[in-house]
Amino acid sequence: MVERKPFYSADDIRHLEYQHSRPGEAPFLRGPFTQMYRHKPWTIRQYTGFANAEASNAAFKQTLAEGGQGLSVAFDLATHLGFDSDHPAAQADVARTGVAIDSVEDMKRLFDGIDLSRVSVSMTMNGAVLPIMAAFIVAGEESGVAREQLRGTIQNDILKEFMVRNTYIFAPKPSLRICADVVDYLSEALPNFNSMSISGYHFQEAGAEPALELALTLANARAYLDAISARGLDLDHFCHRLSFFFGVGMNFFDEIAKLRAARLLWCEEVERRGARSDRAKRMKMHCQTSGWSLTAQEPHNNLIRTTIEAMAGVFGGTQSLHTNAYDEALSLPTEHSARLARNTQLILQQETGICDVADPWGGSYMMESLTQQMADKVRDYLRQIDALGGILAALESGWVSKQIHGQALRTQSRIDNGQHPIIGVNRFVSDDEARPPVRAIDAGEVLNQQRQRLQRLKETRDTRRVEAALADLTAAAASPTANLLAFTIEAIRARATLGECTQALLKQMRRHQADAHYLAGLYGIERRQDTQWHSIRREVEAYHQQLGQAPRALLVKLGLDGHDRGVRVVASGLKDAGFDVDISPLFSTPEQVQRMLDAAPYDALGISLLSGAHLPLVEQLLNTLGQEACDRLGVFVGGIIPDQDIPALTTMGVDAVFPPGNSMEAIISELIAVLAEKHSARGFKSVSYR
């Protein structure tokens, strides 16, 4: 958060350079267009995708019929990581967090009956960007839509995946080459399609405060500009097709200031590189309300949170907006909650008068001062990154991870000690809340359907043509001058699958695996004056004395879910409370977890899952470990776990389940109680803080 004064006056803005700037004029502080929403309101673009292509297609059509003005596609984790649905590593995650796409035939089903020459489509895809973009282009062509008519955005922002979201496939260097190939190809062949959406949203979800979110986004943008410009492409030719994507959280004033500062800093960056046209200098952005701010406790409160965040995005001048559904801390949104989320934007657009004035906060003593403070703070972060040798060096050194994880820990400590109030969680908690119904996806049925479709596709296609196209793709990966998207399009057109295209590339580029780590000491320092924290530490110490050693926990991420904010925060909290803690690599298999457990005397096994695949993945793991290991270990599961799934997990052998909103004290106290019972530590008393 930037520092705020009790009140502001003209003295606070007298020195500001751009206080008299106008909307639609460089440096675009007050908005990228002169009339802003008075001429064209922001696009209502809701992120949607689940189950199979037909189910998502029906949801798209309903969205458009009920006021949606563009589409945004959510893909499942198997698709993100380049696996076909029938791959053994992917099967538990198929169709859980988005739509399963294995081939161009699935892509054609996804957009069946939707005019792609009129409806813009945003696709959140990074790791498997080549086969997904290729499938979209071929699906459009085979539906009668020429490439130059296609409108929309492909995220194609791989660098942030190595920092927070982890849906990467290849290492950073070859991944950057792929990004540049996509920009190069689309800038020529698809003139109405944005070739990159450089994202800050995921930094905020991982724990970054607004200034760090913006700084990392701009640092990544600089790296992309370097990579693309090195090919001889002119900024004025491609820069206007780069867009940005920011999160909007509950720091209302800071979020508005962040979006205003973002346009200023981007304009400065491209001007410094020699851009001449306003199109190149003008930042276009999409915003999404915070997923992290949604609470599982009293979820209807999330309607108010999302409305406040949406207003901040609009006041900040976004070009399109997604509003999260109130039940997304519990599951995928239901039709009812998705409609309320969409209607939030329609009401803001049509009932409030918000669209009447461009940049209504412009000239505010407070807002102009905060915007300048935000820009200055971002510049300071960028100087630190430059001193490390640029964003790739900052990533490799661990600086990026340390900054984000450190801010996440500070936030969690303030929630746990009550300094960061969250109504219904640590303030004004209700004891009789009713949970809303959640959407259930029959992922097993979708998996079987996708398997059958893959089998039919392979039986009916020209195998020799596919093999030749895939061989050409592998050869292109070895040639630094070949455009990989062009070769992937030919493979997809021949009916190669997404997984086959990925495997063809992996013959030249290895699959990347990052190390897992966490910060020790910081959470405990932040809680050092908290009596509850000292009480729970004494509880762990007492257990330590009875055992003769510190309790030891292994925390694991199973399946394809790469979101690691929660597991790293819990690891830090356990360590600072007195546990010895290890974290498994991301995407661990049951066999890998078993080997880790066999290699060291662990007392507890923690499993973090946010993808909805907790039932099959936990069952697979516990079956692999066997009953003896489950009897010995304290097994606990955390993540987005609906209430109705907790009994099934308990029956499998899970000792404790922690959905979102549990404090560190609650987790540690219950874990110690479980371990005490497991080890028959007689006379040991556990105090509950739940």
d(CA 329, CA 642): 9
201 noted as active-site residue = yes
82 φψ region: left (φ > 0), alpha (ψ -120 to 50), beta (else): left
Catalytic residue among 12, 18, 37, 47: 47
376 noted as active-site residue = no
Helical (H) or strand (E) element with 122: strand 121-123
Residue recorded with tokens 């109030």: 421
Distances (CA, A) of 421 to 14, 306, 371, 590: 35, 16, 25, 38
Q: Cβ contacts of residue 3 below 8 Å, gap of 6+?
A: 373
Catalytic residue among 108, 284, 557, 575: 557
Asked if 284 and 320 count as a contact pair (C-beta separation under 8 A), the reply is no
Strands (E), 551-674: 552-557, 580-583, 604-609, 634-639, 656-658
575 noted as active-site residue = no
d(CA 636, CA 603): 11
d(CA 329, CA 292): 8
Helical (H) or strand (E) element with 244: strand 242-248
Buried b / exposed e over 482-500, threshold 16 CB at 10 Å, is ebbbbbbbbbbbbbbbbbb
Catalytic residue among 563, 575, 576, 655: 563
Paired tokens of 100? 């399963």
431 noted as active-site residue = no
561 noted as active-site residue = yes
Catalytic residue among 80, 108, 202, 322: 202
Catalytic residue among 106, 181, 327, 561: 561
Catalytic residue among 37, 201, 381, 602: 201
Q: Are strands 552-557 and 320-322 parallel, antiparallel or unpaired?
A: unpaired
When computed from its CA atoms, the radius of gyration of the chain, rounded to whole angstroms, is 25
Asked if 130 and 177 count as a contact pair (C-beta separation under 8 A), the reply is no
47 noted as active-site residue = yes
Paired tokens of 355? 């669209």
| Residues recognised as catalytic | 47, 201-202, 557, 561, 563
